[in-house]
């Protein structure tokens, strides 16, 4: 295996309805040597600063879409598996970001509604007018939009209503608070209520225990990811999980990007 290159790991996203894997989040790592991986917290900030993130981000997007198309063909499901890709502030600010996404869609042949772009709440609030404009264009391409690490930034409620987004990801710090009983439940419950008002679906990050999963189900959360289900793993491991996971054709659970019924 060549060293000193980026690699993608994937973490399953699971429906809390029936436990099926509905998609993955692509998470980049840097392979420093055959046995050593460097994690994004250690190199994404530098890549942002130097501008390298623009090339790295495009590589991640292309590679994540290519891999997902392969899984969709090998493991057809209804609804189709989805892939979530993180977008950094600098990538998002590029004047041709929407064209880049459009090109990758055409090159890889991925169905746009099975690609989900994650932008963090703090990026979405940097220039709200620009954000609304870009998110609208992305949705016109048919791509889904997700607000990542929700609850850690300072969203303006007024803007949230005008943001064209499909899902919201509750930051794992709030899921961890579920261990603290009623207070933690109230925080997650408040975010769930907000999402219901906005008619969007919620994915909880950082579900680590069966208690987290049970609480999230009780609070009406649709989807989750976390160490309880699986850590981020190499593509071959995902293929194995998909092969073992029974096909749920025609399932009534809906896709993560479907709007909630009115």
Residues numbered 141 to 180 that lie near ligand C2E (CB under 6 A) are 148-149, 172
Nearer to Mg ion, 113 or 118 (CB): 118
Contact pick of 113, 149, 166, 215 for Mg ion (by CB under 5 A): 149
Angstrom distance (rounded) from CA 10 to CA 83: 9
Contact pick of 44, 105, 119, 123 for ligand C2E (by CB under 6 A): 44
- The yes or no reply on residue 86 touching Mg ion (CB under 5 A) is yes
**Minimum Å distance from CB 31 to Mg ion?**
20
- The yes or no reply on residue 232 touching ligand C2E (CB under 6 A) is yes
Angstrom distance (rounded) from CA 215 to CA 124: 29
**Minimum Å distance from CB 62 to ligand C2E?**
11
What residue is closest to ligand C2E based on CB?
226
**Minimum Å distance from CB 256 to Mg ion?**
13
- The yes or no reply on residue 208 touching ligand C2E (CB under 6 A) is yes
Helix (H, G, I), strand (E, B) or coil at 7: strand
CA-based nearest residue to 226, from 65, 88, 199, 215: 215
| CA distance to 23, 44, 108, per residue, from 114 (Å) | 9, 25, 12
DSSP at 13:
E
- 41: which 2 tokens? 């917290």
- The yes or no reply on residue 118 touching Mg ion (CB under 5 A) is yes
Residues numbered 93 to 122 that lie near ligand C2E (CB under 6 A) are 118
Nearer to ligand C2E, 75 or 229 (CB): 229
- The yes or no reply on residue 41 touching ligand C2E (CB under 6 A) is yes
CA-based nearest residue to 121, from 148, 94, 89, 88: 148
In the chain, which residue ranges form alpha helices assigned H by DSSP?
40-50, 53-74, 89-93, 97-108, 121-124, 128-141, 157-162, 172-176, 182-198, 210-218, 235-244
**Minimum Å distance from CB 239 to ligand C2E?**
19
Beta-ladder partners of 10: 26, 233
- The yes or no reply on residue 60 touching ligand C2E (CB under 6 A) is yes
Contact pick of 67, 86, 155, 167 for ligand C2E (by CB under 6 A): 86
Sign of CA dihedral 106, 110, 114, 118: negative
- Locate tokens 């990050």: which residue? 205
Interaction site with Mg ion (CB under 5 A) = 86, 118, 148-149, 205
Interaction site with ligand C2E (CB under 6 A) = 11, 27-28, 39-41, 44, 57, 60, 86-88, 118, 148-149, 172, 205-208, 225-227, 232
């Amino acid at each position: 295996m060549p060293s000193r290159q980026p690699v993608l790991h994937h973490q399953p996203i699971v429906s809390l309805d029936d436990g099926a894997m509905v998609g993955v989040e692509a998470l980049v790592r840097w392979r420093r040597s055959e046995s050593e991986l460097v994690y994004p917290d250690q190199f994404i900030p530098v890549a942002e600063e130097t501008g390298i993130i623009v090339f790295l981000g495009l590589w991640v997007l292309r590679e994540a879409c290519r891999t997902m198309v392969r899984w969709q063909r090998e493991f057809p499901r209804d609804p189709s598996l989805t892939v979530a890709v993180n977008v950094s502030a600098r990538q998002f600010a590029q004047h041709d970001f929407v064209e880049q996404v459009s090109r990758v869609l055409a090159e890889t042949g991925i169905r746009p509604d099975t690609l989900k772009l994650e932008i963090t709440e703090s990026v979405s609030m940097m220039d709200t007018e620009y954000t609304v404009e870009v998110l609208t264009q992305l949705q016109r391409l048919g791509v889904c939009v997700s607000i990542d690490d929700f609850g850690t930034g300072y969203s303006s409620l007024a803007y949230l209503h005008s943001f064209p987004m499909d899902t919201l990801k509750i930051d794992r710090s709030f899921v961890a608070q579920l261990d603290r009983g009623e207070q933690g439940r109230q925080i997650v419950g408040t975010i769930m209520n907000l999402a219901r008002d906005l008619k969007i679906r919620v994915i909880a990050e950082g579900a680590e225990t069966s208690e987290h999963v049970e609480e999230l189900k009780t609070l009406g959360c649709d989807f989750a990811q976390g160490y309880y289900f699986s850590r981020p793993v190499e593509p071959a491991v995902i293929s194995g999980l998909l092969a073992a996971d029974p096909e749920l054709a025609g399932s009534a659970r809906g896709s993560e990007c479907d709007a909630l019924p009115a």
